[in-house]
Amino acid sequence: MMQQKKSATPTITQPQQLVLHATLGAAISTSLGGDALSGAISGVASEYIASESLKNGTSPQNAILIGQATGAASALITSAALNRTDEQMAKDTQLGGFVGVNATVNNLTLLVTGTEPTRVIGLGESSSNSADPKLKNSIEQTFGEEITPFTWSGGVSDSARNEAANNLLEVVNNHEFKPGEQLNFVGFSHGGNVIDGFTQLYSGNKKIDNVVLIGTPQVSDYRFDFSDLSFGANAINVYGNQDKIQVLGSILKGEPSAPRTLDGFTNIMVDQKPSFSPVKNHLNLPTQDVWDNKIKPELGR
């Protein structure tokens, strides 16, 4: 049984934001063929200037333009100082503007991974840090933001998932949402149930913009609270037609007839080949291929 909804005051610091956007700016720039230092400086400068603009009453739309211009100018100056070619400088400037927009709209993106089999014998934990790097890269490119790390016990019990839901609540409540910023969730397996549990607790003003559940067992104890979705939000449920683990998760909760699909969600089926392995098709769902070819188009990205 989940507890009543709670709320808290955001407390994330600006230095943390600057470090985050330096890292992400460098990653975005290099992944798209630009210079890492130009991307990092664009991220820091845009984050700082746009934040100050918003504090001084600039509209979110104008702050984004300011962030874009700051990012492009910072990248151009840095690229010139590095004596890069005209073609490289043009590329860095273009990417600097993209990084600047991203730094202005600081989306909070959380990946909640599933139960770890080793927890049956009391070992291991479940962490977004250990998720497939290619999948994480696709998620970050889609939402324009580095995934905020989240770790939970990965335990095979309601108490473990409820504890994780409360920890997730703390992460969201401690995030300082800015105008235009998105809140995005991706949950795999029982990680999706943790997200469901979070929505039963959450009562913050910031609504969820995108939620993607992948291979999540459907059980009545964990129901997504649709009142936490923003207007026009994307709610996507991805399932494999040969995924034994998703069905087993429902059976173990005493609900053998639970469907793979979710009412109120856009349901996406991944066509799979039968396998003797009970886990193979389950673990083949949270991949870069499934994200890029099945999920990303539905998100309109």
14-61 pLDDT per residue, tens: 677 788 788 888 988 898 899 999 999 998 998 889 878 867 777 666
Which amino acid belongs to residue 9? T
* Residue 197, both tokens: 């549990």
Same domain, residue pair 129 and 274:
yes
On whether residue 9 sits in a domain, the answer given is no
* 139: containing domain: 108-298
pLDDT of residue 263: 93
Query: What whole-number distance in Å separates Cα of residue 130 and Cα of residue 134?
Result: 11
What DSSP character marks residue 220? T
On whether residue 230 sits in a domain, the answer given is yes
* Residue 227, both tokens: 């009142």
Q: Which helix (H) or strand (E) holds 140?
A: helix 133-143
The residues, any chain, with a CB within 8 Å of residue 142's CB and separated by 6 or more, are 291, 296, 299, 301
Same domain, residue pair 96 and 194:
no
* Residue 190, both tokens: 């029982």
Q: Please give the radius of gyration of the chain, using alpha carbons only, rounded to the nearest integer.
A: 20
- Calculate the alpha carbon distances from 257 to 171, 181, 249, 254, 265 in Å: 34, 39, 11, 9, 19
pLDDT band for position 13 (cuts 50, 70, 90): low
Same domain, residue pair 212 and 194:
yes
Where among 104, 124, 159 does a domain terminate? 104
Which amino acid belongs to residue 238? V
For the chain, give the secondary structure using H, E and C. Answer: CCCCCECCCCCCCHHHHHHHHHHHHHHHHHHCCCCHHHHHHHHHHHHHHHHHHHHCCCCHHHHHHHHHHHHHHHHHHHHHHCCCCHHHHHHHHHHHHHHHHHHHCCCEEEEECCCCHHHHHCCCCEEHHHCCHHHHHHHHHHHCCCCECCEECCCCCHHHHHHHHHHHHHHHHCCCCCCCCCEEEEEECHHHHHHHHHHHHECCCCCEEEEEEECCCCCCCCCCCHHHEEEEEEEEEEEECCCHHHHHHHHHCCCCCCCCCCCCCEEEEECCCCCCCCCHHHHCCCCHHHHHHHHHHHCCC
Same domain, residue pair 294 and 256:
yes
Same domain, residue pair 131 and 58:
no
Per the CB < 8 A criterion, the answer to whether 125 and 145 are in contact is: no
Count of CA atoms in the C-beta half-sphere (13 A) of 32: 21
Least confident window among 79-83, 95-99, 214-218, 253-257:
253-257
| Mean pLDDT to the nearest integer, 248-265 | 87
Same domain, residue pair 36 and 185:
no
Top mean-pLDDT range of 173-182, 202-211, 215-224: 202-211
On whether residue 33 sits in a domain, the answer given is yes
pLDDT in tens, 91-114: 999 999 988 887 776 678 999 999
Query: What whole-number distance in Å separates Cα of residue 157 and Cα of residue 160?
Result: 5
Which amino acid belongs to residue 169? L
pLDDT of residue 119: 54
Where among 72, 104, 136 does a domain terminate? 104
Same domain, residue pair 122 and 233:
yes
Same domain, residue pair 170 and 195:
yes
pLDDT of residue 179: 63
Same domain, residue pair 170 and 253:
yes
pLDDT of residue 1: 45
Which amino acid belongs to residue 293? N
Per the CB < 8 A criterion, the answer to whether 106 and 123 are in contact is: no
Per the CB < 8 A criterion, the answer to whether 80 and 70 are in contact is: no
Whether the predicted pLDDT of 11 surpasses 60:
no
Same domain, residue pair 129 and 257:
yes
β-bridge mates for residue 109, sequence order: 184
Percentage of the chain exceeding pLDDT 70: 89
pLDDT in tens, 135-187: 998 998 888 777 888 999 988 888 999 999 999 999 999 887 766 678 999 99
The CATH number of whichever domain residue 161 belongs to comes to 3.40.50.1820
Where among 48, 79, 104 does a domain terminate? 104
Structural domains counted in the chain: 2
Same domain, residue pair 97 and 142:
no
Same domain, residue pair 98 and 128:
no
Q: Give the global pTM.
A: 0.70
On whether residue 4 sits in a domain, the answer given is no
